[in-house]
Structure 1
Amino acid sequence: MHSSTAGHLRRMPAIGAVVALAAGMLVSIAPAAHAAAGATLPFTSVEAESAAGNGTKIGPDYTQGSLASEASGRQAVRLSAGQRVEFTVPRAANAVNIAYSVPDGQSGALNVYVNGTRLAKTLPVTSKYSYIDTGWIPGAKTHHFFDNTRMLLGQNVQAGDKVAVEAAGVQVTVDVADFEQVAPAAGQPAGSVSVVSKGADPSGNGDSTQAFRDAIAAAQGGTVWIPPGDYRLTSSLSGVQNVTLQGAGSWYSVVHTSRFIDQSGSAGNVRVKDFAVIGEVTERVDSSPDNFVNGSLGPNSSVSGMWIQHLKVGLWLTGNNDNLVVENNRILDTTADGLNLNGTAKGVRVRNNFLRNQGDDSLAMWSLYSPDTDSSFENNTISQPNLANGIAIYGGTDIAVRNNLISDTNALGSGIAISNQKFLDPFNPLAGTITVDGNTLVRTGAMNPNWNHPMGALRVDSYDSAINATVNITNTTITDSPYSAFEFVSGGGQGYPVRNVNVTGATVRNTGTVVVQAEAQGAVTFKNVTATQVGAAGVYNCPYPANSGSFSLTDGGGNSGWSSTWSDCSTWPQPGQGNPDPDPNRNLAKGRPATATGSQDVYTPGKAVDGDANSYWESTNNAFPQSLTVDLGSSYAVRRLVLKLPPSSAWGARTQTVTVLGSTDGSGYSTVLGAQGYRFDPATGNTATVTLPSGTNLRYLRLTVTANTGWPAGQFSEVEAYQTP
C-alpha cells in the first residue's frame, strides 16, 4: 500500500497560524455554482452546529491534530453526559446516521428522541475505530477522530419533525446527521441461491464463510442471495467470477468481515450489490489486505448500492478490472484509501459514490506497473479525508475527474491532486489529456507539516518528473479554501516543470491567501477565472528551488479579482493578511538568485548579490557583451540601482558601459535604460548610482556590460535594487 504523503519533504519558509474562517450552516452538502457537482444521495445531511441544543460548539479550526479540523465544516458540537443536540428533520425519513467522536479509549451510547419521545434503542458510540497513528508517514499525527453510527428509527418522521441525540454516560462530539428514507427490504430474486440454504447464520453467531463459498460455487452464472441478517465471515472469499452477490439492501443485509474478496485475478462479470460489509479494522497495516475488495473482480464487473465501513481500504484494485463500474456506494471510516485503481485499469467508471472520513486519499488512481487508462471519477461526493487528498491522480493516460464535490481535506492533502509522484517504480507518468471539469471544492487544501507551508485546493504537482500531459482544468468552483485555490508545484524539490496546463472558467470565493500558488518552473494559461474575497494577493510566484526557472502565467482573457502579486518570496502570506508593502529601503537583490552569460574562475554571479562588497562577479574575459541577471522574486517598482566594485584602493578607477533591462516573466526583456557609461572610482567608494524611470516594474533585472576601461570583462561586487528614488 502506498502512502499519499510519503516524501513530502522540502525546505520552505514557515507560515504563521491559520486564522479561523467561518463555515456556514449546511443542510446537505450542495455546490454553490455548478449544479451537477457531487453525487445524487439518498440522504440529506444536517450539521450539528446549525441545530438546537445545549452542547458546546467547537471550531472552526484548521490546525492539524485538532478535533474540529477533521469535522465537516470544521465545526461540531461537544456533548457532556446528559446534553443533547436536536435536529430539525429536513425530509421524510425513517433512518439516521450520525458522524461523531468520543475521547480515546472510551465507548458509550447516544439516546435518541423523536419529537420529544425517547426510543428504546440507542446508538452505540466508540473510539475503537479512531485515533489512528501512522508514524511511517512523514508529517502524520494522530488522526481519524470521527466515526459513523446508524439506526433505523422504527417509524417515519416528516420534514420539520425533531430528532435529538443525547450523550449517555460519555462525552460525545456530534458532527453531522444524515437523514434517509430507507426502502423496505428487497425480496429474493427468482432462481438465486441463498447463503442461508448453504448454512449461513443470519444471527451473526456462527461462521458463515463456507456457506458463502458454497453458494458462490452453486450459483455460477446466476445470483447469490444474502437475506436480511448479520453474517460473520472469518476469512476472505476468492475465485469469485461470473456471479452476482446481492443483498436485500445495505441497511438489512450485513456482512461482518475485514477481508471480503481477496483475489489477484478473475474471469470477471462479477456483480456485487445492495448489502453492507462492515469490518473490524482498528489500525492501518499496509501489508495486510484488510479491504472490501483486494485485487481484481475481473473485466466487466460492477459494485453498487454497498455500505462499506471500518476497513483499511474500500477497493484496492490491481490486475484486470477493465470496464469496472463502481457506483451508488457509501464508503465510510477507512483507515487508508476509499478506492485506489492501482495500475492497469482501463475504462473504469467510479461515479455517484459518497465517501467520508478516509485516512488517505478518498479516491485515487496510481499508475504503478502500467498506466490507468481512459478511466474516470465522476459525480462523487467526498467529505473529510483526514490525512491526504479528496481525489488524487498519480500518473495515467487520458484520465477524467468530472463534477465531483469535495470538502474539508486535512493535513497532507488538496481537494484534487494531479501528480507525477511515483512512490514506487515502475511508474507511468501523466500522459495524453487529463480532464478536470466541473468540480466544486469547499474548504479544501491544508497545511503540509513537511513543507511548513500549505497545499492548494487544487494541486498540479511535477513531484518526480515534468508534467508533459495536457491538463485541462475547466468550470471549477473553489470556496473557502483556507489557503490557496490553484497550486503548481514540484513537491519533490527537484524543480521539474509544470507544462501544458489550461485553467478555463473558475469561480474562487474567499480564498485564505492567494488564487495562484506557483512554486515550479513552467507555464499555465488562465481564462475566465474570477475571484472575490482574496485573503492576501492574487498570485504567489516563487519557483522552488529558486534557480530552477521561471513560472509564466498567461492571461487568456476574462480574468478578474486577482491581479496583484505577493511581494516577498522570503515570507509566506498568512490567511487574510493582505499584501504587505515591503520596506522601500530594503535591498531587493540581496540574496536573490543570480545568473550570468559567463564568469571567470571563482568570480561567480552569486558574488554580486551576497552582501559582501569585497567579493565580486567577473564575466568571461575578452567576450563582450556579457550580462548578469537577478531574480527579485516578485515584480517591484524599482526606482534606483546601486552598482559597486570592491572598495579597495587596489582597484583603479574605471568606466563600465551598462544597459539596464527588465522582465516580469523571465522570458521577454525590455530596455529600461539604454547603454550609458558609469564611473567607478575608489576615491568615492567605487560606487555608481543608477536612477530608473518612474513606472519601472520588473521582477528580473538584467545588466548588460559592453565595455570596461579597467578590465576586459563585466565586474560587479554588489548589485543593489531599491524602490526608493
Structure 2
Amino acid sequence: MSRSSTAAAAEPAGRPRRRAAAVVASATAVAVGFGILAGGTTAMAGTGKAAAGGGPVVTRAALDPALVAGRGATVGFSEQEAENAATNGTVIGPGRDAYTLPAEASGRKAVSLTPGQYVEFTLPSAANAITVRYSIPDAPSGGGITSPLDVTVNGGHRQSMSLTSQYAWLYNLYPFSNDPNADILHPDYWVTECSCVPQDTTPAPVFAKPFRPNHFYDEQRLSLGRTYRAGDKVRLKVPAGAAAATTTIDLLDSQLVAPPKVDIIAANVLAFGADPTGRRDSANAIDKAIAFARLTHLKVYIPPGTYQVNRHIVVDNVTIEGAGSWYTTIKGHQVDLAKPAPDGSVHTGVGFYGKDAADGGSSNVHLSGFAIQGDVRERIDTDQVNGIGGSLSNSTIDGLYIQHTKVGMWFDGPMHNLKITNNVIVDQIADGINFHTGVTDSSISDNFLRNTGDDALAMWSEKTEDARNTIDHNTVQTPVLANGIAVYGGTDNTVSANLIADPIREGSAIQVGSRFGSEAFTGHLWITDNTTVRAGTYELNWNIGLGAIWFYALEKNIDADIRVTGDNFLDSTYNAIMLVSDFPVKDLYSITNVHFKDIKVDGTGTSVVSGRTAGSASFENVDARNVGAVGVNNCGSFHFTPAGSEFSLTDLGGNDGGGTTGAWLAPWELPNTITCDDRPPVVAPPAPSAW
C-alpha cells in the first residue's frame, strides 16, 4: 500500500513508531560485492541438468500447472524456472529469509552464474520472444551497473542483452534509500536488528551496511527476430569480462507474440509529429492527436516504435490503441519539478492520467496495446509518477505492459465502472494496482503482476468506501513488501480465483485490514477460490510469522459478513490463517463473523489457524495435511482467563486432517481452549501435490 499524496506507514508494518528496546535479530545475508547469498540456504552446482533431461518443465508460480488450474491470469507465455533448466552454474535456495536473493526468487530458488557459465532452457512451444528475470549486483556506492548477457538459440543467432541493476537494490528503512552506505534513516524507529534505542545509546549502534538490502530483481524482454519451434534451446550465457561478478537468473518466460496491430482509420500520432525513434519528446504530438480524435470521433493510434514522454498525458473521452505492448512503447525520464506541485509531487514522469476527481474526473477512456516504461528508481510517496493515474469512470485498460513506474495504476476516486484486464505490471517501486477512495462497481481481472514494491493489488477505502468491486483471476508473484492482495475496508467486494505466490516480507498473500485510516468493513466480503503458495512472511516487529491470509483489526472492529470459501493455502511458511489485533488495541477491537468453508490447507510451517484477537470464526470442510505444529494457536487477547481464550472457533463439521500432533481442529480445542504458542518450531512441509 503506497499513498500517492500522503506518506504511507508501511514500515514498520504493524506497529506505531516507538522508542523502546527491541529484540536482537541478526541479519541472515552476507553481502558479496552487493550480491546477496542466503545464509543457511543450499547452493548446488549444476542441479538443473537432471530436470532438463526429461524435457522442458513449465510451471505457474513455480508449481505444476495442474495444482492451480482455473486460478490466476490467463497469460500468453510459458514460465520456466531456471533451477529446472540445464546449467553449469549454481542453484541458490531454497530460502525464504527476507533480504536474500533466494527469498525474492520465484519458487524461492534461482541460478547464479559467473562469467563463462550458462543456463539453457528448452522451448516448450513455438516462441519468438522471451522475458528474462534476473539480478546483478549494485554499484558499491549505489545507482546500479550494467552487464551483458549473451542469448543464443540452438548455438546460433547470438544476441546480447544489456542487463541493469539501476532499477533494483533498495536499502534501509521505509521509504528506503538507493545508498548502500547510508546510516539508518529513522533513528527513532524500533529496529529489531538492534537491542537498544539508537538515540539514547553512546556510542551509537553500528548497523551492518548495506542495511536491509532488498528489491534485487528486474526483468527484460527480448524479441528473438524469428519464430523458433518447441524443443529449440535458448541459452543464456554470461560472457567473459562481464561487469557483474555474478548474474542470477530466476526464470525465463517464452511466448509467440502476434504481429503488430494496424489501425488505418484513426488519428495516427505520426501525423502530428510523434517520433517513433524516441530521440525527440512526443508528448505534445500525442496531445494533438488526442484533441483531433475527440473532435472527429476517431481513435488515437500509436504505431510500432519507442516514444519519449516525460510527463502526464491527460486523457478524457478518448480511445488510445497501440500496435501491441511488444511493439509500441511509451518511455520517459523522471523529471525534477522546479517547485513541488500542489499534490506534493517533486517529480513528474511518463503516465496516462484521468482528470482529478475534484475536477470531475475523466470518463469513457479506453487504453490498450502499448507499454509504459518509466524511470523511477526511488520511493517518494508524494510523487505522482505512476503508469496510470487520476480518476477514470466508464473506462477500460487492456493489454498494457507497465514497468519501472512508482505504481502501475493508482486511482483516486470517487469513480466507477473501470475494467482493468489482461495487463502485465512488473518491477514497481510501490503498488501494482490500487483502488483508493470511493472506487465502485469496478473490476481487476486477468492481470499478471510480478516484483511490486508494495501491495500488488489493493482496495483502500480511505475517507470513502470502495464498493461492489471484484479482483478476479489475477496472478501475483513475489511482492517484495506487503501483500499480494489487500482489502482495507469497504463493502460488498469480492476477491476470487486469484493465484498469489511468494510474498517476501511484512505481508501475506491476502490481507483483510482495518488500518491506514480506512472506512469500516460493511456488507459482505467474499474471498473465494483463491490459491496461495509459499505465503506468510516473518513480521520483524512482532517477531512472529504471518498467515497466508491475514485479518488485522488495528483501527476498527472487523465484523462484516466475511466468507472465505473454496480457497487453497499451499506450502504456507508459517500458519495458513491468522486473525490478529495489535497488542495496544487488543481490548478495543475484535474480529467476528468470519466463515471458512471448503478450504484445503496443504502444508504449514506451524499452525492452520493463529488467533491473536478477541472474536470468533466458523470452520466447515476445512481439510488440512502436513501441518507443522498444533492445529490452532489460540492466544485470544492475551488475558488468559479461566474461562478460556477470548477467541472462539465454531466447528460446523467436515474439518479433517492435520499433522504430527493429530487432528488440526480437535474437540479439546473447541470452542476457546488456550493453546498459545506464537513461536513453535517451523517444520518445512513437503512440496504441494494433488489432493
1:250 matched to which residue of 2? 325
Question: Is the partner of 1:341 in helix, strand or coil?
Answer: strand
Report how far residue 136 of structure 1 moved: 3.3
Q: Is the 8 A contact 1:143 1:387 kept in 2?
A: no
Residues of 2 paired with 1:363 and 1:3: CA distance?
Answer: 17
CA distance in 2, matches of 1:360, 1:481: 20
Distance change in 2, residues 1:113/1:37 (3 Å): same
For 1:147, the aligned partner's letter is D
Cα contact 1:382–1:406 (8 A) shared by 2: yes
2:457 aligns with one of 363, 378, 393: 363
Match of 1:128 among 156, 166, 178: 166
Q: Distance in 1 between matches of 2:299 and 2:677?
A: 64
> 1:189 deviation in Å?
4.0
2:327 equivalent to 1:231: no
- Is 2:101–2:216's contact at 8 Å kept on the other side of the alignment? yes
Q: Which residue of 1 aligns with 2:563?
A: 472
Percent identity over paired residues: 39
3-state secondary structure, aligned to 1:204: coil
Residue identity in the other structure for 1:367: S
The CA distance in 1 between the partners of 2:313 and 2:638, in whole Å, is: 50
**Cα offset, 1:36, TM superposition:** 1.8
Please say which of residues 206-215 and 316-325 is displaced more in the overlay.
316-325
Residue of structure 2 aligned with 1:173, choices 248, 257, 260 = 248
Query: Could you say if the C-alpha distance between residues 546 and 70 of structure 1 is closer, same or farther in structure 2, counting changes exceeding 3 Å?
Result: farther
Return closer, same or farther for 1:546/1:100 CA change in 2, 3 Å cut-off: farther
| RMSD between aligned residues | 2.5
Q: 1:3 to 1:363 in 2, by over 3 A?
A: farther
Contact 1:326 1:351 in 2 (8 A): yes
Q: Deviations over 1:24-58 (max 9, x none)?
A: 97623366555221011000100000000111110
Q: Note if 1:202 corresponds to 2:279.
A: no
The residue type paired with residue 114 of structure 1 is: V
Closer, same or farther in 2 for the Cα pair 1:6/1:195, shift >3 Å?
farther
Please list the CA deviations of residues 599-629 of structure 1 after superposition, one character each: whole Å capped at 9, or x if unmatched. Answer: xxxxxxxxxxxxxxxxxxxxxxxxxxxxxxx
Q: Is the 8 A contact 1:111 1:118 kept in 2?
A: no
Q: How does 1:549-698 map to 2 (within 5 A)?
A: 550-561=646-657, 562-563=664-665, 569=676, 572-576=679-683
**Which position in structure 2 is the counterpart of 1:76?**
110
- CA distance, structure 1, for counterparts of residue 13 and residue 215 of structure 2: 21
CA distance in 1, matches of 2:41, 2:553: 31
1:417/1:75 CA distance change after superposition, 3 Å: same
Q: SS where residue 399 of structure 1 aligns?
A: strand
Identify the match of residue 143 of structure 1 among 204, 214, 229.
Answer: 214
Instruction: After TM superposition, give the deviation of residue 116 of structure 1 in Å.
Output: 1.5
Cα pair 1:133 1:283 within 8 Å, conserved: no
Question: Which of 47, 56, 60 is equivalent to 2:90?
Answer: 56
Contact kept, 8 Å, 1:14 with 1:572, in 2: the verdict is no
Match of 1:27 among 59, 64, 79: 59
* Residue type of the alignment partner of 2:538: M
Given the alignment, which residue of 332, 340, 345 partners 2:434?
A: 340
Give yes or no for the alignment of 1:435 onto 2:526: yes
User: For each residue in 1:475-531, what CA deviation from the matched residue of structure 2 results, as whole angstroms up to 9, or x when unmatched?
Assistant: 011111111101111136412211000000111112111111111111110111111
Task: Name the SS of the counterpart of 1:91 in structure 2.
Answer: coil
- For the residue of structure 2 that corresponds to 1:245, the secondary structure is strand
The 3 A distance-change label for structure 1 pair 512 and 567 is farther
Show the counterpart of 1:9.
Answer: 15
* Rounded Cα–Cα distance in structure 1 between residues aligned with 2:639 and 2:434: 35
Deviation at 1:546, TM superposition (A): 3.4
Cα offset, 1:141, TM superposition: 3.3
> In the alignment, is residue 542 of structure 1 matched against residue 542 of structure 2?
no
CA distance in 2, matches of 1:330, 1:399: 23
Measured in 2, the distance between the counterparts of 1:345 and 1:159 equals: 44
CA, structure 1 residues 577+185, in 2 after alignment: closer, same or farther (shift >3 Å)?
closer
CA distance in 1 between partners of 2:595 and 2:71 (Å): 20
TM-score (structure 1 length as normaliser):
0.75
The letter of the residue matching 1:412 is E
Residue 188 of structure 1 is matched in structure 2 by 263
Measure, in 1, the Cα distance between the counterparts of 2:81 and 2:471.
Answer: 26
Q: Go from structure 1 to structure 2 and tell me whether the alpha carbon gap of 1:20 and 1:81 turns closer, same or farther (over 3 Å shift).
A: closer
How far is the alpha carbon of 1:196 from its aligned partner?
1.0
Closer, same or farther in 2 for the Cα pair 1:577/1:415, shift >3 Å? Answer: closer
- Give the 3 Å change call, closer, same or farther, for CA 4–475 of structure 1 in structure 2: farther
Provide the rounded CA distance (Å) in 1 between the counterparts of 2:575 and 2:233.
39
Matched letter for residue 388 of structure 2: V
Q: What is residue 126 of structure 2 aligned with on the other side?
A: 92
Cα separation, partners in 2 of 1:144 and 1:352, compared to 1, 3 Å:
same
> 1:407 and 2:501 equivalent?
yes
Please state if 1:264 is matched with 2:356.
yes
2:481 counterpart letter in structure 1: L
1:383-438 CA distance string (max 9 Å, x none): 000111000000111110000000000111100001111x23xx311111000000
Contact 1:34/1:438 (8 A) holds in 2: no
Tell me the SS of whatever aligns to 1:528. strand
> How far apart, CA to CA, are the structure 2 residues paired with 1:555 and 1:21?
41
Is the contact made by 2:432 and 2:457 (CA closer than 8 Å) also made in structure 1? yes
How many residues were matched structurally? 571
How far apart, CA to CA, are the structure 1 residues paired with 2:449 and 2:566? 23
Q: Residues 6 and 112 (structure 1 numbering): CA distance in 2 closer, same or farther, change over 3 Å?
A: same
C-alpha distance in 1 between matches for 2:476 and 2:651: 32
Question: For residue 292 of structure 1, what is the amino acid of its counterpart?
Answer: G
8 Å CA contact 1:3, 1:360 repeated in 2: no
Segment of structure 1 superposing worse, 192-201 or 153-162:
153-162
The residue type paired with residue 391 of structure 2 is S
Counterparts in 2 of 1:237 and 1:46: CA distance versus 1, 3 Å: same
The amino acid of 2:96's aligned partner reads: Y
**Contact conserved, 1:55 with 1:80, CA < 8 A, in 2?**
yes
Q: For 1:161-180, what per-residue CA distance to the aligned partner results, in whole angstroms no more than 9, with x for missing partners?
A: 21110113122100011011
Report the residue type matching 1:135 in the other structure: L
- Counterpart of 2:288 in 1: which secondary structure? helix
**Structure-2 residue corresponding to 1:683:** none
Q: What code does the residue aligned with 2:370 have?
A: F
Q: For 1:538, give the aligned amino acid.
A: G
2:423, 2:617 → 1: CA distance?
36
Equivalence for 1:419: 513
2:378 corresponds to 1:283: yes
Structure 1: runs of 5+ lacking an equivalent: 579-725
* Contact 1:36/1:438, CA 8 A, preserved across alignment: no
- Judge which range, 260-269 or 344-353, deviates more: 260-269
- Give the TM-score of the pair, scaled to structure 2: 0.79
The 1:455/1:494 distance shift into structure 2, 3 A limit, reads same
**Structure 1 residues 123 and 577, CA gap change in structure 2 (3 angstroms):** closer
2-side partners of 1:553 and 1:20: how far apart?
37
Unaligned runs of 5+ in 2: 29-38, 52-56, 140-144, 176-188, 192-210, 333-348, 658-663, 686-691
Preserved contact between residue 301 and residue 321 of structure 1 (Cα < 8 Å): no
Q: Give distance in 2, aligned partners of 1:161 and 1:42.
A: 19
Structure 1 residues 484-503: aligned runs within 5 Å: 484-491=575-582, 493-495=584-586, 496-503=589-596
Partner of 2:573: 482
Partner SS, residue 312 of structure 2: coil
Q: Residues 137-183 of structure 1, C-alpha deviation per residue, up to 9 Å, x if partnerless?
A: 57793321100111110121222221110113122100011011100
Change (3 A) 1:376 1:235: same
For 1:244 and 1:360, the matched residues in 2 are separated by: 30
**Which has the greater radius of gyration?**
1
